[in-house]
């Protein structure tokens, strides 16, 4: 007998083609039947709804969240069944128990005792916690550089370079889908292009990816795109540009030139892909965006505090409002926050992007969706953590009609699955893993706002992860059926294919 049957839904199989009617039968974690399904243990009526492959978040910082919040409600409740973690150069592995985890992982592991050192060990630790969804990992440059060179502004020595190469190779061998950089962050910003080419070429030889938060996304966006393309070309590696944007009002509109340059590279035969988050604000560790000797007033003006251990009362408020209330200079307030005890753990939200650019990005035919959500749940996180995927389907597909529903599903399923090497996922096909989302296309919507960011999407009926009922009728089933994925391979802990 079949484990689960989903009947009467319109199937959007992830290919981008029009939907069709069929019943889906699931057994032993896999899609067994598409068409006519006999008796089953669990029956789900999908009438009036769409069934799609589970959505894939190509840009996550969930490395630590898998241990801290294994229920992963903020992703599962949007229909996300797989994330790519280890982005922007920060990854949970390699982990060195003697190093400061905050520096090495960019805060991803702060407060957590690892108990692991490499990717296999991390996967074991996460599986032990019974994660709700699947995870694919990148190995991050900032992490390996801080372990090999520490936070120093210089070129690595030969032996330090070998140490970094060893870390990257080991992670790739154990199933990482690539090497990530965050070249605006510490210590990655101290690296020359040549260092990145050498490390990215290891991903190239493995047939894996180079993903990058580029060196500049504002005044020097186009120069940074040139560097990313040069790295991809010289390292012979598929280059994935993360959260493509033009930051700062003076740069709005530059995404058009940037996309045109990338189109030219692709036309010339280079492998380049991209993702975007559907919001006009970014978010990250506030201290990374400021020079403490010369606080940037314009930036401070557009910042809202997400989480701030030193001043919890500031969470959810704009710096300019706090400064006005306290009748003081905004740069002085910024400096006080950043230099307070644990001030470096402050997460901010910065309103630096133009909505027109978000739409330009979404119109690019192969644009994928990455939330870039930062799962620090103690404060008022950026709403993208809970809202990204429902916002694409509700706002950009249904209300703005920027892309069709089957096409949006393709961009969030088969396209990322193929790009990031997720074995037998991202499509509704017999013999594929049963990662599925059943949703109502007429009601799906994000509800998370900057004022109330931790609210669940509407219109998600059922989410199935590896054949287990994970989320149904607004209830989290704590199935704990997520797997740790290895690039183009069976999942960690499963027999090699
Ligand atoms: Cu990121
Ligand atoms: Zn980033």
Q: Convert the pLDDT of each residue in 261-294 to its tens digit.
A: 999 999 999 999 999 999 999 999 999 999 999 9
- Antiparallel, parallel or unpaired: β 281-285 and 436-439: unpaired
Residue 103 is predicted with a pLDDT of: 75
For the stretch 471-483, pLDDT in tens is 999 999 999 999 9
Tell me how far apart the alpha carbons of residues 165 and 472 are, in angstroms, rounded to a whole number.
44
Determine which helix (DSSP H) or strand (DSSP E) holds 213, and give its type and residue range. Answer: strand 209-213
CA of 125 to the centre of ligand 2 (A): 25
What's the CATH class of domain 55-280+352-425?
alpha beta
Q: Which residues of 272-303 are buried (b: 16+ CB within 10 A; e: fewer)?
A: bbbbbbbbebbbbbbbebbeeeebeeebbebb
Specify the 3-state DSSP secondary structure of 453: coil
CA of 406 to the centre of ligand 1 (A): 27
Tell me how far apart the alpha carbons of residues 166 and 123 are, in angstroms, rounded to a whole number.
19
CA of 335 to the centre of ligand 2 (A): 23
Residue 95 is predicted with a pLDDT of: 93
CA of 41 to the centre of ligand 2 (A): 44
**pTM attached to this predicted model:** 0.98
Sketch the domain layout of the chain as residue ranges: 55-280+352-425
The fraction of the chain above a pLDDT of 90, given in percent, is: 95
Beta-bridge partners for 57: 83
Residue 455 is predicted with a pLDDT of: 98
Instruction: Pick the ligand that lies closest to the CA of residue 213.
Output: 2
The pLDDT-based confidence of 101 (bands split at 50, 70, 90) is: confident
Residues lining ligand 1 (ion), CB within 5 A?
Answer: 87-88, 372
For the stretch 308-317, pLDDT in tens is 999 999 999 9
For the stretch 33-85, pLDDT in tens is 999 999 999 999 999 999 999 999 999 999 999 999 999 999 999 999 999 99
Tell me how far apart the alpha carbons of residues 170 and 142 are, in angstroms, rounded to a whole number.
16
CA of 58 to the centre of ligand 1 (A): 10
Residue 55 is predicted with a pLDDT of: 99
Tell me how far apart the alpha carbons of residues 407 and 206 are, in angstroms, rounded to a whole number.
30
CA of 217 to the centre of ligand 1 (A): 13
CA of 86 to the centre of ligand 2 (A): 10
Give the residue from 322, 396, 332 showing the smallest Cα distance to 358. 396
For the stretch 219-266, pLDDT in tens is 999 999 999 999 999 999 999 999 999 999 999 999 999 999 999 999
Q: What is the mean pLDDT of residues 204-215?
A: 98
How far, CA to CA in Å, does 419 sit from each of 115, 137, 360?
Answer: 31, 13, 22
How far, CA to CA in Å, does 70 sit from each of 101, 128, 169, 185?
Answer: 20, 10, 27, 27
């Amino acid at each position: 007998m079949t484990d689960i049957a989903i009947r009467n839904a319109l199937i959007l199989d992830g290919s981008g083609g029009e939907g069709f009617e069929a019943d889906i039968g699931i057994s032993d974690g896999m899609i067994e039947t598409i068409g006519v399904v006999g008796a089953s243990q669990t029956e789900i009526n999908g009438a009036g709804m769409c069934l799609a492959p589970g959505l894939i978040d190509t840009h996550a910082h969930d490395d630590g969240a898998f241990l801290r919040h294994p229920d992963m409600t903020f992703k599962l409740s949007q229909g996300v069944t797989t994330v790519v973690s280890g982005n922007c150069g920060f990854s949970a592995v390699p982990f060195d128990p003697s190093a400061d985890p905050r520096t090495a992982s960019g805060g991803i592991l702060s407060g957590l005792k690892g108990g692991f050192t490499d990717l296999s060990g991390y996967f074991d630790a996460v599986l032990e916690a019974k994660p709700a969804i699947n995870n694919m990992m990148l190995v991050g440059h900032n992490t390996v550089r801080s372990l090999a060179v520490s936070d120093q502004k210089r070129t690595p020595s030969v032996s330090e370079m070998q140490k970094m190469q060893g870390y990257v190779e080991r992670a790739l061998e154990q199933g990482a889908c690539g090497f990530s950089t965050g070249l605006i962050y510490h210590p990655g910003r101290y690296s020359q292009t040549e260092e990145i080419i050498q490390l990215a070429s290891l991903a190239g030889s493995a047939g894996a990816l180079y993903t990058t938060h580029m060196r500049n996304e504002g005044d020097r966006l186009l120069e940074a795109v040139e560097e990313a393309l040069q790295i991809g070309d010289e390292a012979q590696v598929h280059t994935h540009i993360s959260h493509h944007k033009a930051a700062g009002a003076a740069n709005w509109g530059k995404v058009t030139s940037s996309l045109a340059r990338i189109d030219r590279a692709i036309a010339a035969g280079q492998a380049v892909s991209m993702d975007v988050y559907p919001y006009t604000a970014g978010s990250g560790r506030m201290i990374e965006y400021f020079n403490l000797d010369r606080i940037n007033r314009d930036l401070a003006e557009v910042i809202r505090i997400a989480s701030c251990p030193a001043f919890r009362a500031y969470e959810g408020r704009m710096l300019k409002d706090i400064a006005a209330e306290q009748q003081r200079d905004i740069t002085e307030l910024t400096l006080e926050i950043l230099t307070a005890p644990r001030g470096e753990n402050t997460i901010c939200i910065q309103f630096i992007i133009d909505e027109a650019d978000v739409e330009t990005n979404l119109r690019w035919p192969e644009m994928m969706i990455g939330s870039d959500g930062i799962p620090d749940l103690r404060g008022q996180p950026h709403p993208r953590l809970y809202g990204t995927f429902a916002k694409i389907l509700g706002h950009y597909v249904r209300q703005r009609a920027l892309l069709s529903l089957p096409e949006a599903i393709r961009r969030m399923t088969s396209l990322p699955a193929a790009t990031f090497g997720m074995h037998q996922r991202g499509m509704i096909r017999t013999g594929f893993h049963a990662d599925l989302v059943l949703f109502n296309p007429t009601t799906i919507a994000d509800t998370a706002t900057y004022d109330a960011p931790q609210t669940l999407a509407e219109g998600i009926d059922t989410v199935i992860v590896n054949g287990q009922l994970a989320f149904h009728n607004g209830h989290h089933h704590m199935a704990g059926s997520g797997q740790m994925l290895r690039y183009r391979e069976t999942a960690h802990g499963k027999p090699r294919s």
